[in-house]
Amino acid sequence: MSARVIIIGAGMAGVAAAIRLGQAGYEDLVIYEKADGLGGTWRDNTYPGVACDVPSHLYSYSFAPNPEWTHVFSPGAEIRSYLERVADDHGVTGRIVFGAEVTGLERRGNLWHLSTADGRSDQAAVVIGATGVLHQPAYPDIDGLGDFAGPVFHSARWDHGVNLDGARVGVIGTGSSAVQITGALVKRVGEYVLFQRTAQWILPVPNPPISEADRTRYRAEPGAMVALKDELAAQFTAGFADAVVDAESEAARHLEEICGAHLEASVADPGLRAKLLPPYRAACKRLVVSPDFYAAIQAPSARLVTAAIERVEPGGIRTADGVLHEVDVLVLATGFRVDRFLRPISVTGSGGLELDQVWAKRPSAYLSVSVPGFPNLFLLNGPNGPVGNFSLIDVAERQIDYILQLLGRLGDPEAAAVCARADAAERFEAERVEAAGRTIWVTGCRSWYLDDRGVPAAWPWTMQRFQEAMAEPALEDFEFETT
């Protein structure tokens, strides 16, 4: 096949796309990556304790099971090494242009014209955006943040040059990142102060090492890993992915019971327990998975502050009760701007249509992969997909196969283009918003799932429905044009 394909982003999804498209015969493909290494999330997040809360044998490419995982939930550095190894093994690394931040994408004639911050340009018939969801750090708007005298950094931009041993460290936030940081830091630092705006439910899942005997078995019998992956997928789907999209389900209630019992059993002091008790249902916010958070926050070095942050001062954080919490280092575990996707890339589609205008209120895409008016531009883990519900590797792989089917319908992508129809995208979005009203995410909390209207920006149906939707494109929902 002759058509050139550009992939933007060399994270988990971009690497998978390059491999699958290469296998399908798209040999002229290139990945543009703004950083100097691949791995996306697993390159950016290097904070102490970083790990994936999807079991490693599930968070693996279907075409590259990994007998070497060391833990049920392996550390971030191991995941990054895995992605690097898979990219090397499949000849992808050499196709990545590193240090090339894409700034512009414009459709002229039948090609996408790309430009980068360092002055490169390229063109291709097909572009796949694999720029990630939880990617652009959200910095809090707190008075005086710039006045802090010590080091201050975001959890996804960890400054490893700062020595934390014996230091007084303040961490703002209680999401998955902060909880993992807490477990890793309390024994290392002199004093650990966690600033909690909203309590989180914690699902206690142990993270034992995978034994050498099991790893030997997986090396000898890769089929055992496939069986394990299927088993983990079934458990994850029934116990979590399908539970969160049906607030009244037994599985959702079960999650609540486990989390409630965990808090009850783990925190003896009623005062602290009350502070840690979330005022909303479990999994309304993205459920935090941790076997050790409650033990960590009760460590002698740790302190939980629930008074509202008033401002940052050179010596620490002043809370609304007038107390100055003195710290030497400040970590902002304050999450990500989840509505960005391809942005800030300037994307201009057919007839001068600007993606930023189309997404001015909020981003959306038909089935999360195609935006009307932007032919032959596809998104992986785009708006309103099952982010946070399931293994994003599985999600991306299914989206890639779906895109490949669409491209297969084109024959020659240089002479034809495909894009979701506007009416199909509108219908999908209306159904999605309606179904979102039944999810656990709208049961009374603030979270990164919710868009500006308070509607969850996520896939609100079961994983089976997602798999069915991705199995084969409904061609009547697409416009095919000969260019």
**Where does this chain bind ligand NAP (CB under 6 A)?**
51-53, 134, 140, 142, 155, 172-178, 180, 197-198, 286, 309, 333-336, 388, 446, 448
Nearer to ligand NAP (CB atom), residue 4 or residue 286: 286
Nearer to ligand NAP (CB atom), residue 3 or residue 232: 232
Nearer to ligand NAP (CB atom), residue 177 or residue 237: 177
Report the nearest approach of ligand NAP to the CB of residue 373 (Å): 30
Return the residue nearest ligand NAP (CB atom): 175
Nearer to ligand NAP (CB atom), residue 131 or residue 155: 155
Nearer to ligand NAP (CB atom), residue 52 or residue 245: 52
* 230 contacts: CB under 8 Å, gap ≥ 6: none
Report the nearest approach of ligand NAP to the CB of residue 133 (Å): 9
Report the nearest approach of ligand NAP to the CB of residue 451 (Å): 14
Report the nearest approach of ligand NAP to the CB of residue 30 (Å): 29
Nearer to ligand NAP (CB atom), residue 138 or residue 224: 138
Report the nearest approach of ligand NAP to the CB of residue 96 (Å): 24
Tokens representing residue 369 in the block: 């992969």
Nearer to ligand NAP (CB atom), residue 54 or residue 418: 54
Report the nearest approach of ligand NAP to the CB of residue 444 (Å): 13
Report the nearest approach of ligand NAP to the CB of residue 78 (Å): 13
